[in-house]
Structure 1
Amino acid sequence: MPARNESIASEVVAAALAGAISATVLYPLEIVKTNLVAKDDSSAEDKDDNNGMIATAQALYKEGGVARFFRGVQFSAVQSSVEKALYFFSYTCLKQVHSTFSGGANMSTLTNLIFGYAAEWSHLPVTLPIDSITTAIQTSSKGDGTFQVLMAMLSSKNQKYYNAISAYYLLCLKPALQYTVYEQVKTVWLRSKSRKALTAVEAFALGMVARTVATILAFPFLRAKVLLQTQHRQHNDTIVDTPPKTTTRILNEQWNRAGLAGLYQGLSPELARGVLSAALMLMIKERIAEKVQHAFSTKS
């Protein structure tokens, strides 16, 4: 049992630290992505994702300079840290339960997906409100700072912190797909090399591939989530009481507006940020987990 507790502890500590670091380092890309994804119009600049990304970044810089690209970074770091810690805590516990009842047999791809999906739901009660606050701060066009936006949200009677929960019925498959691809390929690769851990370069490269696959498959639901979180806001950032939309309705509207381009608006910055974030996070996590596990082993 101590070995199991040490394994869980190393995974949680490593994931929490790696999540916070990667979220902070790549936060400017997160700001650009969120603002581009939140646009719900058919302007010409949005039809070309690369042009839309550049135009969005330029507009944000004119609005608040370099500081605009770090507005709300503390919330994003906390959210990412809690999300990764709870995800890997749940995922590692599920893997160990499976190992106990299966006699140590390797998990199938389907089992890996199911465990990843369940682990993703485990952190949403805590992280979804933080995500809602972060999105509001990121997309606020006022000159107000983080504190003013936060107070406005907390004092609003119309603010619904879980109104994007429906998007997660399928969006939860994103990390499940990402870590399933990562774990499956990692297992095969390490077995072929007769090693117990990936090198930093291997973890980085494998993290990029896994995140790319997961992002492309799940992105329409990420777009729906952001639009659900911002649907109560008008251009002047006044929160109004409007009839809520559903994930299905938003996806249908985007498809009718611009087809696949509408569903995948903002994909370029999300791929850039997400792929680098996953690769960086998994690379850091592998190194920290190895150090933490070694520290536990040394003490025992």
Structure 2
Amino acid sequence: MSDALINGVAGASGGIIAQLITYPLQTVNTRQQTERDLSKSKSISRDGTLKQMRQVVKQEGWGRLYGGLAPSLVGTAASQGVYYYFYQIFRDRAELVSLARQRKGIGDGSLGMLQSLVVASLAGSVNVLLTNPIWVIVTRMQTFKKSKEAIQKHDLPTVSNDLQNVTTEPSHYGMLDVIRELYSEAGLVGLWKGVIPTLIMVSNPAIQFMLYETMLKKLKKKRASNMKGAEGLTAVEIFLLGAVAKLGATVATYPLLVVKSRLQAKQGVHIDKRHHYQGTWDAITKMIRYEGLFQFYNGMGTKIVQSVFAAAFLFVIKEELVRMSRFLLTRTNSSRLEPPRP
């Protein structure tokens, strides 16, 4: 099994587990980002995340905290698998280039911060282009709201207050409903709503992995004298490295995440034109003009908590799975090479 495949499978597995743990926070955060009513937005900012979660449970039921979970798990597995697979491929090639440069007397043969950033950006771009349709579906399902009456009477439609939209929504809203809705709005292109800010947001995991790899490299060098490189790092240390790396990346790129969510969420035909967006630049200019810069950071506290914990759990689980896989493969290969006993 190749190193790229090991990292891809480990990344997908870690991503799924981290997603299950932090998903309710993600749902609340998506709703915070897509709220266009300024009075409600300020109220959301005053309320704590836990209070907002309780309100969702009280008004819509526990299930709404996990709205879109199925496609989100598929998206997480696909995104993490694709990302780590291509990240390892691009990194291996970059390391070969660095070693070739070292033989010519240039550099020390290791990847620098800029090279790590380029590798992460390339892997992130491939990931975005392949998995964006899944995340459009997830955003639609997370921001769908239904009233108590719809929960109590499953066979009756209800009027959704989602995004100030006065159109009638069914009480059930699944993946097929979202796909049909997106296709009726913009055809197949609708599945790539928000792809431009998402591509720009490739800088988020790029910054995250650049910070993580840099801190990991420094820690390895510091402990090289009395420990065996990465094997000497504990799960707690990897957790903290992942958390710090994700925190820095999230703070730097959060405004783009808000724009992406606004573009991917449903925009009803009767919605105020001030909140109806034709594209990325239109969304940015209208948000600045009608809502202010504050809206670009709405819900950032929730996102930081969710992202930091998800990323930290992901790094711990991924590193442990990679380590275990390599250990098992080494033992298997060693047993094959052993001469038969007489």
TM-score, L = length of structure 1: 0.89
Separation (CA, whole Å) in 2 of partners of 1:158 and 1:224: 19
Alignment partner, residue 303 of structure 2? 270
Output the CA distance in 1 between the equivalents of 2:141 and 2:309.
23
Unmatched 5+ residue regions in structure 2?
A: 101-108, 155-169, 334-342
Number of the residue aligned with 1:185: 215
Q: Following the alignment from structure 2 to structure 1, what is the Cα–Cα distance between the partners of residues 217 and 124?
A: 21
Kindly indicate whether residue 113 of structure 2 is the aligned counterpart of residue 109 of structure 1. Answer: yes
Asked whether the 8 Å contact 1:49–1:267 carries over to 2, the reply is no
**Structure 1 partner of 2:131:** 127
Structure 1 pair 235/265, CA: closer, same or farther in 2 (3 Å)? farther
CA distance in 2, matches of 1:208, 1:18: 14
Say whether residues 1:279 and 2:325 are aligned partners: no
The answer to whether the Cα contact below 8 Å between 1:87 and 1:122 also exists between their aligned partners in 2 is: yes
Moved more, 247-256 or 137-146: 137-146
Instruction: Report the Cα distance in structure 1 between the residues aligned to 2:268 and 2:53, rounded to whole angstroms.
Output: 21
| Equivalent in the alignment of 1:252 | 285
Q: Which entry has the higher C-alpha Rg, 1 or 2?
A: 2
Q: 1:235 to 1:60 in 2, by over 3 A?
A: farther
Aligned residue number for residue 290 of structure 1: 323
Offset, 1:52: 6.2
Partner of 1:155: 180
Q: Which is bigger in relative contact order (C-alpha 8 A, separation at least 6)?
A: 1
Q: Where does structure 1 lack aligned partners over 5 or more consecutive residues? A: 237-241
Aligned residues: 292
Q: Say which of 175, 196, 199 aligns to 1:166.
A: 196
Distance change (3 Å), C-alpha of 1:222 and 1:62: same
Q: Please report the TM-score for the alignment, with normalisation by the length of structure 2.
A: 0.79
Q: 2:85 aligns with which of 85, 89, 111?
A: 89
Distance 2:171 2:71 in 1: 10
Query: Structure 1 residue 234: deviation in Å?
Result: 6.3
Q: Percent identity?
A: 23
Whether the 8 Å contact between 1:42 and 1:257 is mirrored in structure 2 is no
Post-superposition CA distance 1:123-151 (Å, at most 9, x none): 22332111011111111113479963322
Residue 126 of structure 2 aligns with an amino acid whose one-letter code is S
Asked if structure 2 preserves the Cα contact closer than 8 Å seen for 1:47 and 1:265, the reply is no
Residue 154 of structure 1 and its aligned partner are, at CA, apart by 2.2
- How far has the Cα of 1:298 moved from its partner? 1.4
Q: Which residue of 1 aligns with 2:22?
A: 26
Q: Which amino acid aligns with 2:125?
A: W
1:16 and 2:43 aligned: no
